[in-house]
Structure 1
């Protein structure tokens, strides 16, 4: 679901993963039509990094 949001409303993804300042910067970038594509790429990349961080955290918690 977050992936679809990342493509349609990239700035919103940053707020859902707890990065509001990046969300505001992304919103400013998205306001321009030229900036929409980089904003979407940035949101998808950040979302994948967030998912990876969550998996690592779960793995570390399981070993303790």
Structure 2
């Protein structure tokens, strides 16, 4: 998924269900200068999504252990 975020940042957003963000990213990516910020944005967003998922799992495990 990280490779997709670097090569096709807009597709990374769309595959994760963020359609509007993917369209905005595609518009940014259309310009050659915007490709690098779009790829960085997609990678950071992907990392944040993974961290959120991990945090939710930890909270769920803590609640179940009580």
Q: Scaled by the length of structure 1, what TM-score is found?
A: 0.92
Unaligned runs of 5+ in 2: none
Task: Quote the RMSD (CA, aligned, Å).
Answer: 0.8
After TM superposition, what 4+ stretches of structure 1 lie above 2 angstroms from structure 2?
Answer: none
Count of residue pairs the alignment pairs up: 63
Q: Which structure: larger Rg? A: 2
Q: Scaled by the length of structure 2, what TM-score is found?
A: 0.89
SS of the aligned residue for 1:54 comes to helix
Unaligned runs of 5+ in 1: none
SS of the aligned residue for 1:34 comes to coil
Q: Which has the higher helix share?
A: 1
